[in-house]
Amino acid sequence: MMEKSCSLLVHFDKGTPAIANEIKEALEGNDVLAKIDAMKKAVSLLLNGETLPQLFITIIRYVLPSEDHTIQRLLLLYLEIIDKKDASGKLLPEMILICQNLRNNLQHPNEYIRGVTLRFLCRLHETEIIEPLIPSVLQNLEHRHPFIRRNAIFAVMSIYKLPQGDQLLVDAPEMIEKALSTEHDQSAKRNAFLMLFTCAQERAINYLFSHVDKISEWGEQLQMVVLELIRKVCRTDKGEKKGKYITIIISLLNSPSSAVVYECAGTLVSLSSAPTAIKAAANTYGQLLLSQSDNNVKLIVLDRLQELKSSHREIMVDLVMDVLRALSSPNLDIRRKTLDIILDLITARNVNEIVQMLKKEVVKTQSGELEKNGEYRQMLIQAIHSCAIKFPEVASTVVHLLMDFLGDSNIASASDVVIFVREIIETNPKLRVSIVTRLLDTFYQIRAARVCVGALWITGEYCLSLSEVESGIATIKQCLGELPFFSVTEEVSAPSVIHGSLSSGNLRSLLLTGDFFLAAVVACTLTKLVLRLEEVQSSKVEVNKAVTQALLVMVSMLQLGQSSVLPHPIDSDSYDRILLCIRLLSNTGDDIRKIWLQSCRQSFVKMLSEKQLRETEELKAKAQVSHAQPDDLIDFYHLKSRKLELEDEVQDDLKRATGEFINDGNDTNKLNRIIQLTGFSDPVYAEAYVTVHHYDIVLDVTVINRTKVTLQNLCLELATMGDLKLVERPQNYALAPESSKQIKANIKVSSTETGVIFGNIVYETSNVFERTVVVLNDIHIDIMDYISPAFCSDNAFRTMWAEFEWENKVISRILLS
């Protein structure tokens, strides 16, 4: 862990460390470029934990007098990061040497030198160095150049905020308020107002109310600070002025700055729950959603709308069509998030408008101009499906349009359509005839086996009349083509795979690829249709003819599966299923007929009812207000001070960052995370508590000195194997006799592979000149430690299974094992 704060981060290649003597020689030379390179190396080494005390005098002698701007900037960075105090907390005597140089810089004729020096003073905390420089800092408040004035204001604010700053600059607020009233530069005005806001809040409030009519003319940066002030004041002051602040916010909603408008909307939502304020904020977010071209901005605005939807759904319902316009963006993430918001805002009043809009978007996806039209079409189909389930009356307006996409090249999209049709035909009996007719007309267009399976099941279950049953049988026969599927001479002399053509039918083409699960579904569908034909057809001749043709199809499929023209034979499950259908058609009993013609439909109805019940329970669970458990702490917001409120927010943020909000289970599970790293007989005992949070691994290592001597330069050296990476450089510690030390190590996980952490504890003692090494036990990090279960729908799982080829990977892993 880093033991001190750092305001500067610089990339440093640890593989090529610079030697202090080389840096010293370059600094003593006259080559400016070499000096710049040497200063960069020195700063990088200091930031990475090295101590270079021998360079300070060299830098004072050879770098301090340089007039080069880059060198002066690097010098200030160097002075910022070096230790300026000794172990007792007193200022090092040599630090006095830099005071005169800083004073000269504050009076330098070059504006850049003055500005960067004033900026440097903002990060300086030693009053012994700052106090002699205060007169020069104050002179720069009236400098002609705005760059210097704005940095001088920041320097005054930083000095005033020091522990004894109000004694060093007693009248700082008065001076800054005076500068604010005469300042014309927008950035300098912003800095001055920020100083008053931070150090003298009442003065900032008085200035704000005395210039209310001019706030709309202020610059973007100053308006942002005004909004920050309003948020802070309104959280602590619940008095009469809150209405005035909200009036100021509403006036800033007309600002030409998108950033200001966005902050105004967020401030309104946080300060008021009045319908007018919430509606104004929602309208603002809607305008930003349409006016901004940056996709990241659109996603952030959609997040804010999602939050508004959760807390103010009634207001958001009126703005649903404005939000829906975000579908014009070609970005799929924006479209997905927009549809998620819209689906929760659907009511009986706006469902028709929403569905019409979604239908137009579906038609647009047929143009084929964009690469991911198929994925977008799948999202739209799922959205329309949700609308039709919630409001069945709209199903008739969309179902026939969507059935045109049963033959879509995007298999996932076509699968969603067939699932939608299957559910609508059961829940909307009035649409059954038209859906069956349309399905049989478009069946030949289907090219995916998964979609054919769904369409065949619908055909077998919902073709009820004589004409529908006959049309269903004829459609299947047409899609299978002429029988048999291969000739005997082909099998005997030159067996080869026979590819179906468009003219021979889609079912034939799929069967000739070896899809025998589809063959079993074809057999079951023909069986259901023939059994139903026996009930609706009075002519026994026609029934026997249909039975004969169905048996011929089934036998031909079995012959195909047992032949050598395909690369693999029929599987036993599909073979048994087809054979069962043949036996059933040869000898049908009443019980079997009831199972095939009634029980299947009843199971499907039960599945739909369970799905609807599960969704209802999930909605109730989301809406249910969580109750406090016995002995839980109850916070009364209005009785809390602002300080406690801020502390709670900070604690919550820290808990989220460290994963403490995640339930770790009982104490036994926590003990299982402790790993012993050394033996009980080793001079140093160590054990690690492993915390895994997403892709961050934290090792909290407890090191105990079991000897009677002090261990010096004790270091926990860790290394990793696999896709693990240490984040921090190890530190050296001194460990007193029989004392302990907590050492933390952060490790990043970059993949889902298993990794290993290994290392040593190295230390020195005063009695032994050589370093002692204690080898640690290995820590194995398994993938199961940093993944968590999540819900995935059946369709999404099938899509990912096909996309990521999990089946092939699973098979290959089984073969390897």
| Percent of the chain predicted with pLDDT > 70 | 84
Exposure class string for 200-215: b at 16+ Cβ within 10 A, else e? beebbbebbeeeeeeb
| Percent of the chain predicted with pLDDT > 90 | 19
Average pLDDT over residues 354-371: 80
Structure tokens at 96: 């006095």
Question: What separation in angstroms does the CA of 423 have from each of 410, 412, 434, 437?
Answer: 20, 17, 15, 16
Separation between Cα atoms, residue 279 and residue 216, nearest integer Å: 21
**89-95-99-105 Cα dihedral, nearest 10 degrees:** -120
Of all helices (H) and strands (E), which one includes residue 234? Answer: helix 220-236
Q: Per-residue pLDDT tens for 214-237?
A: 888 888 888 998 988 888 888 776
Asked if residues 133 and 106 have their Cβ atoms less than 8 Å apart, the reply is yes
Residue positions counted in the chain = 817
**What is the pLDDT at residue 490?**
46
**What is the pLDDT at residue 62?**
86
- Output 447 or 1, whichever has higher pLDDT: 447
Q: Read off φ and ψ for residue 762, nearest 5 degrees.
A: -115, 135
- Helix and strand element counts for the chain (H, E): 39, 10
**What is the pLDDT at residue 394?**
85
- The yes-or-no verdict on residue 91 having pLDDT over 60 is yes
Average pLDDT over residues 622-643: 59
- The yes-or-no verdict on residue 578 having pLDDT over 90 is yes
**What is the pLDDT at residue 456?**
94
Separation between Cα atoms, residue 379 and residue 338, nearest integer Å: 11
- The yes-or-no verdict on residue 304 having pLDDT over 50 is yes
- The yes-or-no verdict on residue 276 having pLDDT over 60 is yes
Separation between Cα atoms, residue 157 and residue 173, nearest integer Å: 9
Q: Per-residue pLDDT tens for 125-157?
A: 888 888 888 999 999 998 999 999 999 999 999
**What is the pLDDT at residue 814?**
42
Structure tokens at 729: 């450089």
Separation between Cα atoms, residue 690 and residue 687, nearest integer Å: 10
Question: Which residue in 311, 346, 340, 313 sits closest to 326, CA to CA?
Answer: 340
Confidence of residue 617 (pLDDT cuts 50, 70, 90): confident
Q: Read off φ and ψ for residue 764, nearest 5 degrees.
A: -125, 155
**What is the pLDDT at residue 369?**
60
**Considering only 82-91, 462-471, 531-540, 594-603, which range has the smallest mean pLDDT?**
82-91
Q: What is the DSSP string of 137-166?
A: HHHGGG-SSHHHHHHHHHHHHHHHTSTTHH
Provide the mean pLDDT of the chain: 82
Confidence of residue 461 (pLDDT cuts 50, 70, 90): very high
**Considering only 178-187, 668-677, 715-724, which range has the smallest mean pLDDT?**
668-677
**What is the pLDDT at residue 811?**
46
Average pLDDT over residues 83-109: 82
**Considering only 106-120, 203-217, 639-653, which range has the smallest mean pLDDT?**
639-653
**What is the pLDDT at residue 668?**
53
Strands (E), 135-233: none
Q: Per-residue pLDDT tens for 708-742?
A: 888 888 888 888 887 777 777 678 888 888 899 99
Edge-first strand listing for the sheet containing 674-676: 674-676, 684-693, 696-705, 740-749, 724-726
**What is the pLDDT at residue 491?**
44
Confidence of residue 755 (pLDDT cuts 50, 70, 90): confident
Average pLDDT over residues 52-79: 85
Question: Which residue in 469, 443, 471, 468 sits closest to 456, CA to CA?
Answer: 443
- The yes-or-no verdict on residue 12 having pLDDT over 70 is no
Strands (E), 750-811: 755-764, 772-775, 779-781
Q: Per-residue pLDDT tens for 507-551?
A: 998 998 888 999 999 999 999 999 999 888 888 899 999 999 999
Asked if residues 377 and 405 have their Cβ atoms less than 8 Å apart, the reply is yes
**What is the pLDDT at residue 79?**
86
Average pLDDT over residues 66-89: 84
Structure tokens at 228: 């920050």
Q: Per-residue pLDDT tens for 364-422?
A: 887 766 567 778 888 888 888 888 888 888 888 888 888 888 888 778 888 888 988 99
pTM: 0.66
- The yes-or-no verdict on residue 815 having pLDDT over 50 is no
Find where tokens 């200063």 sit. Answer: 39
- The yes-or-no verdict on residue 192 having pLDDT over 60 is yes
